[in-house]
Structure 1
Amino acid sequence: MNTEYSFFVGIDVSKRKLDLALLHEGKVRSKVIENSPRGYADLQDWLAAHGAAPAHTHLCLEATGPYGEGVATALADAHWPVSVVNLARIKGFAQSELARNKNDRADAALLARFCAALNPVLWQAPSVQWRALRAKVERLQVLKEMHQQESNRLEAHQASQEVLQAKSVSEHLAWLDEKIAALESDIDDHIDRHPELKQDAELIESIPGIARTTAAKVLAYLGDVRRFHSAKALAAYVGVCPRERVSGSSVRGRTMISRAGNASIRRALYMPGMVALRYNPILKTFGERLLASGHAPKAVIGAAMRKLVHMIYGIVRTGVPFRADFCSPKLDFQDGI
């Protein structure tokens, strides 16, 4: 049991509402509020009315993406201890309790019990600059996906000689090209305007295989990597740690990356991982050794992504740009793949 706090709050997040469960001395109180700034204020008033103060209250919610970030940020800005937990951990905890019910109220109570039992790590809200960068990077990704979709449609219309439709799609593509170029310039300007972002971006870009676009995504999705206590913790957050499936003499599954982490940053690192295997001297040697030992090409790319995450962590933490001799003597002692 977590003895530092005496109140534990589970917050089950949905698009329009937040289901709350306040656990104190074995009793649970429930409430439903709207998922909005007004609701966040009501949440704090409700906690205060029941004697819960930031000094002895721990709040917990699942990492459900944009719908939960508003309340987590509002609470963290108001100095409430908040934890944002991977959904897989909550699911495992529910299975350990043999939970039978699955509804919003029950999930909120489950989160409160999880918070009390396991004392998850506190979440740190990114600064305004980091939040703005992520919003820009996410918008850029949406525009690029739209561009690819429209390019596919243009090809189909041209193949079927649908002239009017092809003209309409071409005009939309031109508009998207303009918006993408403007947003890319805006992202570069945003990074250059903030010294802490600019310094980290330059350090990350010093790694062969990572250019400004990927550096911006790394900064946007990971925030300040210095908040992680180790490179392995960062790799676990990204979901690129190796996961073995071996048991007794009968189970001999393939080792692969866990994928129990941030999917957006994994997608952002996939192509840089492939490039780094060709042009990064450390990862080139590392990849050749894994291929020679019989690892599948995709497994090697996953291992390269993990090594890139380790490099990003080490370079940003030390403030020293990439060097070709960085960690090279340790290549024969890699853990996992």
Structure 2
Amino acid sequence: MNELRCFIGIDVAKLKLDLALLVNGKYKSKVVANTREGHLQLQQWLLDRDATPANSRLCMEATGPYSETVATALVDRGWPVSIVNPARIKGFAQSELSRNKTDAVDAALLARFCSVMQPECWTPPPAEYRTLRAWVDRLQALKDIQQQEKNRQEAALAMQQAALVDSIQHHLDWLAQEIARIAQDIDDHLDHHRGLKRDAALMTSIPGIGNTTAAKMLAYVGDVRRFESAKALAAWLGVSPRQRQSGSSVRGRTMLSRTGHRSARTALYMPALVARRHNSALQAFGERLRANGLAPKAVVGAAMRKLAHLIFGVVRSGMPFDAQMAMPKLDVQDGI
């Protein structure tokens, strides 16, 4: 195997990519467009400077579709790419006492982080997962607009603006139809892919997890089997407990870390409330935590974490949820 000697930081923006190539402590910079042509230009620029997929590592922050597009193009050509949580890059910059923040500076920072930390390589999710995520994001966007329009309609009713109320109602009618259509498209997409359909069925066997939540978890998390343990999945979601204690004076209360995928974590909140009432395993778990003096909101957070563990368990085992099997495991685990 060739030794890594070229580390490339890519600061991703909507329209452009700032590159920093770090070799033997020296930097070379380049700016290309964030387009298909720019991605090809990026690769050629690296090859012209003796950076190859065998001796290089590329690193960029997670910025949604803008970073994943270029990352997928590079991985498809054999380049090893790491997509890093921005919180890690921010912490690394603080450790260097970095004072400036520009696109070029950020690209160089990413190159140094890549050289020092050498984060794990990113693997693009299969096409069916990417398509599902696009549909799920679209559905959520329409639901957000629907709620905004309902709020506007309520305000218009209070002001007795009948014409405005009718206008908003026309939009609400269209939104309801479009939401129903996209929800059906998501169901059809799951039905057309055996792996997605199987995992969705396993997730929905857990009381509290419905079709909408299962689709969101598949869209945002991808294949749950890529995680080594349930704790790793919970950490990725940001539902792991975070303690704050030091010496004899600092005794902060334990709370969710929230260092993870926000949309996926949000998707577990309402299911946790439902599971607290209708999932016998989560009922017993929640009552035990409440008896120990845990605050109601903290109990919900703990229930979110347990749901993540249950999702991991049913998908990895391939067996539907069984309350009798889940109860002993929940009884011996610590809550938040």
Q: Tell me, yes or no, if the aligned pair for 1:245 and 1:252 is still in contact at 8 Å.
A: yes
Counterpart residue type for residue 222 of structure 2: G
Q: Distance in 2 between matches of 1:325 and 1:84?
A: 40
Q: Deviations over 1:164-188 (max 9, x none)?
A: 1111000000000110000000000
Q: Deviations over 1:306-332 (max 9, x none)?
A: 111111112111111111123422334
Q: Could you say which residue in structure 2 is the equivalent of 1:284?
A: 283
SS at match of 1:325: helix
Give runs of aligned pairs for residues 140-179 of structure 1, distance below 5 A.
Answer: 140-179=139-178
More deviation, 188-197/280-289: 280-289
Q: Could you say which residue in structure 2 is the equivalent of 1:50?
A: 49
Q: Could you say which residue in structure 2 is the equivalent of 1:184?
A: 183
Identity level (%): 61
Runs of 4+ in structure 1 deviating by more than 6 angstroms, as ranges, are none
How far did 1:61 drift?
Answer: 0.6
Q: Distance in 2 between matches of 1:286 and 1:23?
A: 51
How far did 1:86 drift?
Answer: 0.8
SS at match of 1:278: helix
SS at match of 2:323: coil
How far did 1:125 drift?
Answer: 0.4
How far did 1:72 drift?
Answer: 1.3
Give runs of aligned pairs for residues 1-337 of structure 1, distance below 5 A.
Answer: 4-337=3-336
* Structure-2 change in CA distance of 1:173 and 1:207 (3 Å): same
Q: Tell me, yes or no, if the aligned pair for 1:77 and 1:125 is still in contact at 8 Å.
A: no
Counterpart residue type for residue 101 of structure 2: K
Q: Distance in 1 between matches of 2:277 and 2:40?
A: 52
Q: Tell me, yes or no, if the aligned pair for 1:217 and 1:265 is still in contact at 8 Å.
A: yes
Task: Structure 2 unaligned segments of length 5 or more: list them.
Answer: none
Q: TM-score under structure 2 normalisation? A: 0.97
Q: Distance in 2 between matches of 1:306 and 1:53?
A: 42
SS at match of 2:232: helix
Counterpart residue type for residue 214 of structure 2: A
Q: Distance in 2 between matches of 1:174 and 1:74?
A: 40
Q: Distance in 2 between matches of 1:333 and 1:115?
A: 40
How far did 1:336 drift?
Answer: 4.9
How far did 1:4 drift?
Answer: 4.7
How far did 1:77 drift?
Answer: 2.0
Counterpart residue type for residue 181 of structure 1: A
Q: Distance in 2 between matches of 1:332 and 1:4?
A: 48
Q: Tell me, yes or no, if the aligned pair for 2:58 and 2:114 is still in contact at 8 Å.
A: yes
Q: Tell me, yes or no, if the aligned pair for 2:289 and 2:335 is still in contact at 8 Å.
A: no
Q: Tell me, yes or no, if the aligned pair for 1:137 and 1:217 is still in contact at 8 Å.
A: yes
Aligned CA RMSD, in angstroms, stands at: 1.3
Counterpart residue type for residue 144 of structure 1: K
More deviation, 161-170/60-69: 60-69
Q: Tell me, yes or no, if the aligned pair for 2:32 and 2:41 is still in contact at 8 Å.
A: yes
Q: Deviations over 1:263-311 (max 9, x none)?
A: 0011111000111111111111111111111111111111111111111
Counterpart residue type for residue 101 of structure 1: N
SS at match of 1:207: coil
Q: TM-score under structure 1 normalisation? A: 0.97
